[in-house]
Amino acid sequence: MKVVCIGSGNVATHFALALKKSNAEILQVYSRHQEHAKVLADQLGAMAIADIALIVPDADLYLIAIKDDAIASICSTLKDIKGLVVHTSGATPMSVLEGMSCYGVLYPLQTFSHSRALDFSHVPLCVEAGSELMLQQVKELAERLSPLVYDVDSIQRKVLHLSAVFACNFVNHMYAIGADILEAAGLDFELLKPLIMETAAKVQHAEPNSVQTGPAIRGDEQTMNRHKELLADRPELVAIYETLSNSIKKTL
């Protein structure tokens, strides 16, 4: 399988490395910035390009992993391509690819960072395609990378992406606030790390609502008031504390 990788950020990098590992040949890496393309291309033995017109027309797969709002315009330059074109975006509908002859979506429900190697076999891949035949191709591709392959249409993918904002982005922000509060008191974030891992581990085998703990679910107003006093000089954190505590109380 010959691949052109369009994009060179976190998602592009993790996909391209996983594809190479599955014995695909990465021909080219495109980025608007030649030097960005080169960093990834060098890891893959691929050619770095910064001019979209240089993209070869005869690859088997064109993997698009760039900013959501750039996907449509990139596609308009790929008109004469026969290979499979997939984007990897949670928030972008498949319809942006409709000008292609063979297309689909391969959305990885995972958070990627430059500094962490990721085992793709634990990444759920959500697939959608323009026809049954195209879907077969996208699934074959997905199954090269992960055993966790799910049929997810564009509307469901939007919902998944939204749920991931809560379960990943907002969660990370809660970690950041925890770290911030500790730092202001001269305490080490290290102390919170085992609790963070255990909190995530608990919901692997239980419904989150069934394992909710803390003062809000106990209705422990005294502790909640003490906490808000501690945050007295951080009104924005008091607002978050109240909003989330009230939301937890409503789950009772």
* Cα–Cα distance measured from residue 215 to residue 59, given in angstroms and rounded to the nearest whole number: 57
* Cα–Cα distance measured from residue 200 to residue 208, given in angstroms and rounded to the nearest whole number: 10
Per CB under 8 A, does 91 bind a copy of itself? yes
Per CB under 8 A, does 99 bind a copy of itself? no
To a copy of itself, the closest distance from the beta carbon of 139 in angstroms equals 16
Per CB under 8 A, does 32 bind a copy of itself? no
Nearer to a copy of itself, 47 or 179 (CB): 179
Nearer to a copy of itself, 135 or 196 (CB): 196
Please list every residue from 61 through 90 that binds a copy of itself, using CB under 8 A: 68-69
* Cα–Cα distance measured from residue 50 to residue 31, given in angstroms and rounded to the nearest whole number: 5
Nearer to a copy of itself, 56 or 164 (CB): 164
To a copy of itself, the closest distance from the beta carbon of 106 in angstroms equals 15
- Angle in degrees, 0-180, between the axes of helices 171-184 and 235-250, rounded to the nearest 10: 130
To a copy of itself, the closest distance from the beta carbon of 184 in angstroms equals 8
Nearer to a copy of itself, 4 or 11 (CB): 11
Q: Which of 98, 211, 219, 252 binds a copy of itself (CB under 8 A)?
A: 211
Rounded alpha-carbon distances, angstroms, from residue 5 to 76, 95, 122: 16, 20, 22
Q: Which residues contact 164 (CB under 8 A, 6 or more apart)?
A: 90, 109
Per CB under 8 A, does 139 bind a copy of itself? no
Best CA proximity match to 63, nearest among 132, 1, 133, 123: 1
Per CB under 8 A, does 191 bind a copy of itself? yes
Please list every residue from 109 through 138 that binds a copy of itself, using CB under 8 A: 109-113, 115-116, 118, 122-124, 126
* Cα–Cα distance measured from residue 104 to residue 43, given in angstroms and rounded to the nearest whole number: 26
Nearer to a copy of itself, 57 or 235 (CB): 235
Nearer to a copy of itself, 55 or 231 (CB): 231
The alpha helices in the chain, defined as continuous H runs, are 10-21, 34-44, 71-76, 132-145, 154-164, 171-184, 193-202, 215-218, 221-230, 235-250
To a copy of itself, the closest distance from the beta carbon of 86 in angstroms equals 19
- Angle in degrees, 0-180, between the axes of helices 10-21 and 34-44, rounded to the nearest 10: 20
Per CB under 8 A, does 51 bind a copy of itself? no
